[in-house]
Amino acid sequence: MKVGVLALQGAFREHREALESLGVAVAEVRTPDALARVDALVMPGGESTTMHHLLASSGLVDPLQEAIGDGLAVFGTCAGLILLARAVLDGRADQTPLGAIDLTARRNAYGRQRDSFEADLRITGLEGPDFRGVFIRAPAIERVGDAVVVLAEHNGRPVLAKEGRVWVSTFHPELAGDVRVHERFLQEVA
């Protein structure tokens, strides 16, 4: 299995390193041609408006929507979640989400950079101790559709969810020093 990491902006290096530590072949994705050569894709955190513009300018929006529609497994973290959502609150009017998972996200729901935090998360199906979630200017999941499965919550709000082969998290698993979330995603979609 070859896993792509969207490498336009954001924490793509950290995701690449987490995946490589699991022995996975990883490719950085910046073009439609690179996207066509991967079996799964991780969309990192970063700045969602900038990432949206870079997806458009690199010609990736339509190929990405098509690939996800054809069954490409994708995991969006933080800004990646915002890009994959069906609807986005507090976004820019010209920022159209990909609609890959039936949920509504709210940008920067937990506050500014100084309001970033870490929290222990109990994740359904994850063995061992709680997972340390790193929330940096994190979005919130405000609504989930009937087919969306919530895998973890923090203070009663969903923070890790999936619908079919699309996974999203409001936190940054790549910054936790713990690759179990990446590993679980890969095991489920392989």
Would residue 174 show up in a list of annotated catalytic residues for this protein?
yes
Count CB atoms within 10 A of the CB of residue 128: 8
| Residue of 14, 15, 174, 182 marked active site | 174
| Residue of 52, 78, 154, 182 marked active site | 78
Would residue 163 show up in a list of annotated catalytic residues for this protein?
no
SS3 sequence of the chain: CEEEEECCCCCHHHHHHHHHHCCCEEEEECCHHHHCCCCEEEECCCCHHHHHHHHHHCCCHHHHHHHHHCCCEEEEECHHHHHHEEEEECCCCCCCCCCCEEEEEECCCCCCHHHCEEEEECCCCCCCCCEEEEECCCCEEEEECCCCEEEEEECCEEEEEEECCEEEECCCHHHCCCCHHHHHHHHHHC
Would residue 118 show up in a list of annotated catalytic residues for this protein?
no
CA geometry: angle 71, 161, 67, nearest 5 deg: 20
For residues 105 and 86, give the distance between their C-alpha atoms in angstroms, rounded to a whole number. 8
| Residue of 52, 154, 172, 182 marked active site | 172
Catalytic residue IDs:
78, 172, 174
